[in-house]
Chains A and B, each alone.
Chain A
Amino acid sequence: MWRLLHFIAIAALIGSAAYVYSVKYQTIYASEEIVKTRHLIAKERDAINLLRAEYAHLTRPDRLQALADSQLDMQPLALNQIVKAEDLPEPGPKVDSIGRKLESLGLLGESATPSAGVTGATPALR
């Protein structure tokens, strides 16, 4: 009986050693992957930083102003061109000109085309 237990113990020992060995190697592999990924992240971050700096350099106000002056046919903003949203005139009533035309042609009645109904892709009219 005791001998059997001893056998089991030895087998368990060898088995666990083998398991530990494999786990250890998996861990080493995983940590290498982590280090590699970290390097990649750092590299990407540096690249992003460089691009941010480059973007800021290319969009610096004096460069944009020089480009706008030489390339665009625009004049500086005048104060009388600034209007508050509430000062904008009310839009006129909506006119469905196509519908009116169809009506005048007598085509606005029930058509044979089945209605598509309301679908998610079509923005609802306000």
Chain B
Amino acid sequence: MIETPQPEVDDIAAHQAATPSVGFLARLRGVVRRLFSSRLDKSAGRIRFIALAMAVAYLGIGVRLVALGVSHDPPQMLKAAADQAVSGARPDLLDRNGEILATDVKTMSVFAEPRRIIDKDEAVELITAVLPDVDAKELRERLSSKKGFVWVKRQVTAKEQQEIFHLGLPGVGFLPENKRVYPNGSIGAHVIGFVDKDNVGIAGMEKYLDEQSLTDPHVPGFVVDQAALKPVRLSLDLRATHALRDELAAGMVRFKAKAAAGAIMDVTTGEVIALESLPDFDPNDPGEFIKDPTRINRVNVGVYEMGSTFKALTLAMALESGKVTLNSRIDARESLRYGHFTIHDFHATHRVLTVPEVFTHSSNIGSARMALMVGVEGHQAFLRKMGQLDRLRTEVPESAEPLVPKRWGELNTMTIAFGQGLNVAPLQAMMAVAALVNGGNLMTPTFLVRDEADALSGSRRVVSPQTSESMRYLMRANATHGSAGFANIPGYYVGGKTGTADKIINGRYSQDKVFTTFMAIAPADKPKYLYLVMYDEPQGLPEDGGYHTAAHNAGRTTGSLVERVEPLEGVPPADHFPDQPFPILARLGLGGDADRVGKE
């Protein structure tokens, strides 16, 4: 950048020529001195030159910036399109013990850039030769589109990838993708849910993950690595869920039922430990679920008349209102008439019953009378407080609105008292029963792990501890003297309630088609788990005298379930009865030992 004016050089050259005697060293010194010398009178020009050069340089940078800003860089576009198209990463779903319920594995997918393919017909021919399951006509259509990016086939095998690679087609490439796999197949499928081809959650907890933005946000240039996503732990216990599914499947075959469903809930936290609804589906191949409406999640989405299990709510309401105590007597001598309707008892006793007997004999008349004591308003208010009249929403997005009678008169209250005329989701009924037995705290069921303190802080007191203890007492009495005997597994102090609802066929209650439910608590003195088992249209077995009531099918299944799941959850069988199972009742002189409730 140093300007060396010509005359100066001549000057020095002349000077050097004039003194030839000066040696080489001196000449070199002169050259060096000339290199480092500067003349102030020339500096103005130099500064101007530098300023000009700087201006040119900055102008160049500016032009380049504008050019970059307005230009479309083709490779960048492809990358963005690929980022959009590639299945995003999802966090692993684990069960409460850390077993994998759903995870991502990397697979390769074949894509094409139609604009860069030279001979489309040849490309289609070659590709369909290697991938015979790709439809040639459809592929030709896709390759003829104006798009910059199309999928040829998602999730190819390593062999297929090699073969496509060896075709050497320009404009055809591979992208690694995430493929969701469910290693346990159908176990817990209704809770886990499934994803579509683009790894977007469609049902169950998979959909919940997307709703909570726990998955890859799928914004161009913002691809999240799978390792960065924290696994989500569900409340499900894989082993207990398998046990439930296994028992239900066996029961469905044994009782020739159309469908079966069940759930296990931790009543102290509201966590759902297991949930199954059969027939079910394999989330790895959810097509059969989408096509077949009988595969719905009956526990969350189905709404049913819960039958006699609903009597637990009626009795709790009556006890809570103070209008009856465990020692009260209810007249069940004659069928109850209302207008031209008559309410009968299935196991008619034709006598005055005590409150525990109303429960153990499952007296419709007794329950209806108790509900009438509280009245229509009070009944509605209580059921609303128990969450039975509103849609129950949990993390699993599938839910159903209960079917509540539009005009709710005294007759409705009487029938709802014994479980007819109000259809609720079974999970909803479980939530209420859990609140009745856990000391009176209503907590929304959850499918995520939750500890007791969290559950309590989010709960609402619905009945007093005394009413709750009375309910536990009644359920225990029903296991020893009532219809829940099949579930009375020694060592676990089980309590339970059966429910057999006649199904409505063509607007009439059918006599031979029933919907049976069974709810059990273990242990009844300090419940931890609430079991629910339901069968749709079970058939009576000859060895049971052809009875298809809940005790024979749902009750039996619950019994084997208790026997199988309690040890799995680390609860050993107790070798003696609890010393003081119902302390409040004992202090009040009510009830006493549930195992000694007389049949009189």
Contacts and interface: CB of A to CB of B under 8 A. Distances in A.
A121 B243 CA distance: 45
Contact of A49 (B104, B243, B245, B489): B104
Interface stretch (B183-191, B262-270, B401-409, B453-461): B183-191
Given A45-B227, A49-B103, A60 B573 contact: no
B321 interface: no
A3 interface: yes
Contact of A60 (B187, B243, B563, B564): B187
Contacts of B575: 87
B556 to A, nearest CB: 16
Interface in A48-85: 49-50, 52-54, 56-57, 60-62, 65, 76-77, 79-80, 82-84
Contacts of B239: 61
Given A62-B185, A79-B490, A53 B103 contact: yes
Nearest to B225: A42
Contacts of A65: 242, 246
Contact of B572 (A52, A62, A76, A84): A84
B217 interface: no
B183 A79 contact: no
Contacts of B32: 3
Contacts of A76: 564
B567 A82 contact: yes
B226 A49 contact: yes
A21 B292 CA distance: 69
B238 interface: yes
Interface string A1-25: 0010010000000000000000000
A35 to B, nearest CB: 15
B138 interface: no
Interface residues of A, number: 23
A90 B563 CA distance: 28
B378 interface: no
Interface string B103-122: 11110000000000000000
Contacts of A53: 100, 103, 105, 181, 183
A46 interface: yes
A120 B489 CA distance: 51
A61 B238 contact: yes
A46 B36 CA distance: 63
Contacts of A46: 105-106
B567 A56 contact: no
A53 B179 CA distance: 11
A50 B567 CA distance: 32
B226 to A, nearest CB: 7
B99 interface: yes
A52 B103 contact: yes
A119 B151 CA distance: 68
Interface in B161-211: 181, 183-185, 187
Contacts of A57: 181, 183-184
Interface in B557-595: 563-564, 567, 572-573, 575
Contact of A62 (B104, B187, B490, B491): B187
A56 B246 contact: no
A65 B430 CA distance: 29
A57 B32 CA distance: 81
A56 B489 contact: no
A86 to B, nearest CB: 11
A50 B103 CA distance: 9
A79 B563 contact: yes
Nearest to A83: B572
A77 B599 CA distance: 35
Nearest to A46: B106
A61 B573 contact: no
Give the most central of B181, B238, B239: most A CB within 10 Å: B181
Contact of B106 (A50, A52, A62, A87): A50
A79 B187 CA distance: 25
Nearest to A54: B183
Nearest to A79: B573
A77 B106 contact: no
A106 to B, nearest CB: 50
Interface in A82-107: 82-84, 87
A76 B181 CA distance: 30
A56 B183 contact: yes
A57 B183 CA distance: 4
A53 B185 CA distance: 12
Nearest to A2: B36
Contacts of A56: 99-100, 103, 183-184
Give the most central of A45, A65, A79: most B CB within 10 Å: A79
B489 A79 contact: yes
Contacts of B243: 61
Nearest to B489: A79
Given A52-B100, A56-B183, A79 B491 contact: yes
B358 to A, nearest CB: 32
Contact of A82 (B100, B181, B490, B572): B572
Nearest to A81: B567
B242 A61 contact: yes
B135 to A, nearest CB: 29
B183 A60 contact: yes
Given A46-B105, A46-B106, A50-B105, A77 B567 contact: yes
A49 B573 contact: no
Contacts of B567: 77, 79, 82
B573 A82 contact: yes
A114 to B, nearest CB: 51
B105 A49 contact: yes
B355 to A, nearest CB: 32
A80 B239 CA distance: 21
25 contacts: A3-B32, A46-B106, A49-B226, A53-B100, A53-B181, A56-B100, A56-B103, A56-B183, A57-B181, A57-B184, A60-B185, A60-B187, A61-B187, A61-B238, A61-B242, A61-B243, A62-B184, A65-B246, A76-B564, A77-B567, A79-B489, A79-B567, A80-B573, A83-B572, A87-B575
Given A52-B103, A62-B185, A84-B572, 15 more contacts: A3-B36, A49-B103, A49-B104, A49-B105, A49-B106, A53-B183, A56-B99, A56-B100, A56-B103, A60-B183, A60-B185, A61-B238, A61-B239, A65-B246, A79-B491
Interface of A: 3, 6, 45-46, 49-50, 52-54, 56-57, 60-62, 65, 76-77, 79-80, 82-84, 87
- Nearest 8 CB-CB pairings of A with B: A56-B183, A61-B242, A57-B183, A56-B100, A46-B106, A60-B184, A79-B573, A50-B105
